[in-house]
Structure 1
Amino acid sequence: MHKAVKNKSRLLCGLKKSKADLTTAKFILYYGPTVADSDIYDMHDYQNLLTDEHLDLSKNTVLYLHGYLEDPDEESIHVIAEAYLERTEDTNLIVLDWGELADGNYMFDAVVNMKQLGPELAKVLLEMFEHGLDIERFHIVGHSLGGQMAGVIGREVFKRSKGKKKIKRISALDPAFPLFYLTAGLGTHLNKNDAEFVDVIHTDAWLYGAPSSTGTADFWPNGGKTLQPGCPKRNYKMLSENDLSSHRRSWWFWAESVSDRFPIKFDAVAAKSWSDFKDGKLVENSPHVVMGHFCPTTVHGDFYLQTNGATPFARGKEGTMYVEPKELIGNNYVEPSVSPSH
């Protein structure tokens, strides 16, 4: 009995190797025009990926990392991929399919697997940078547990290159909260040092998403918490469609920011808190900043905005001036509670 408990404790802390097979992770290169048009490679088969006729090394390259219990058949992957397929003139999209490793028990399987997969993926990326992939035009986007893995990759690339290489940009979409922020000894969470620029979009803080500002720039749409506009009242059945609605808004917002179909952008403004934003107390001389794909990599701090409760979510400059929730498009919105910092 005591031995079993001890082993579980070691596994929880990431000190014991899990039995997961890291070779199940695959790269999926989406080239369009539909999500069905893609090429799949084993994660270590990077040389064939780099010579794929559909990969243009002169363009920007985005690596998307999905979250817990997800795989390429999920709506999130399709929505993200469809948005990037509108940008094929300037962007390559590679999705890491780590579905088998992101499955099972969150604590004992998925998190442990992520901590093993991240460093291995960093090794692969360093090889890719040596063989033609331009680190200056490389961008990692990760949702939930994928957002935390992006941080692991960034730290490992910097460490393994002895400080000579650093990922240019990491964008974390409501990076996972459980086991990363309030429990000691479980490893470092995503932070601003993991890339030259780290932008974070918070939509479900303190529940499934990160509770605090840890990026170069942190965005708090609608206060950054549940309930996001248009989301149904939570029934708190864990990981249900209802329960995940606010957490998933982060990738809906990101996809809309990538797509050319939506001319209105997610304008945001700097403020010290959601309360200050609501009261119109903004950081002086701070310009409007766009949240999402086109976020300038020169900004830093906390930024606030309101969104609609249905697509299109972005409100442009109107989103930088607080209005009562009933005036937003989309129903079922409950004003988020305010934490001491946000």
Structure 2
Amino acid sequence: MTAAPRLLFAGTPEFAVPSAQAVLDSGYPLTAVYTQPDRPAGRGRQPRASPVKAWALAAGIPVYQPATLRDPAVQAELAVLAPDLLIVAAYGLILPPAVLAIPQLGCVNVHASLLPRWRGAAPIQRALLAGDAESGVCIMRMEAGLDTGPVFSRTCYPIISGMTGGELHDRLAVVGAETLRTVLPDLLADRLTPEPQDDADATYATKLDKSEAELDWNRPALELERQVLAFNPWPVAQTRLDGQTLRIWRARAEVESTEALPGTVLREASHGIVIATGSGILRLTEVQLPGGRPQPVAAFLNAHRLTGRRLGA
């Protein structure tokens, strides 16, 4: 392309901000940014701008916040911007075929998984829950299907033992931005041939639900560890203690045989509260009671004793 390309960016949460910044850092101005409408947040439930909107306003970039892209008027407004390429990262709205067809070079997505594994809304957490050894980021051409488009570039990232969903999220946000910056010149020059996905290998990362946060102590300790790590920082794994919700922010599975009923607190020390499970033990290392803050168990045990009690009952 000879003239400066006209680029649009669509994204909403914190994950998308590094990718948006990567476009500017590569020397390409953004014509406009699309993000979801402001949502009520905080105790006062006041409308709050998305992280991408806050970033765009600080950068002096026009912001559009349609509730849907299916509205013909919204599509016409987007078409007037005459984009060469639309870059998407965790936008959260469906791009209908009419929108996908507007940019001259199409639409590309920064997706936090190694497609075709974990198409869908929560690839980071689903990878942790499944015990995947690695995750990564794909830059893919968007199609009408859910994350079904061919892949321009992929970057693998190993999942380190003990890594939480939040930590993997933050790392992949950076990896995604780096990958986008690397391929953007070739994308704009239309020099890349994307690799089709094998639909037979596809898995789906369904949206997280708060109901998944409850720990079932009859399950193996390793599965419970994955649940705790994947759901940090949201929705946060939890169990019941004396009619209260005990949130568990960090834990690790260990191999140890016990005849105690699952959920029984076997022992406690400054380095962990040890719980019997369906197979092995789970050592809780960071917990939280209602009205309090997450704290290491050493601090928690200054005011609580749990040995011999049963969680989740």
What is the TM-score normalised by the length of structure 2?
0.30
Q: Which has the higher helix share?
A: 1
Relative to its length, the structure with more strand (as a share) is 2
TM-score, with structure 1 as normaliser: 0.28
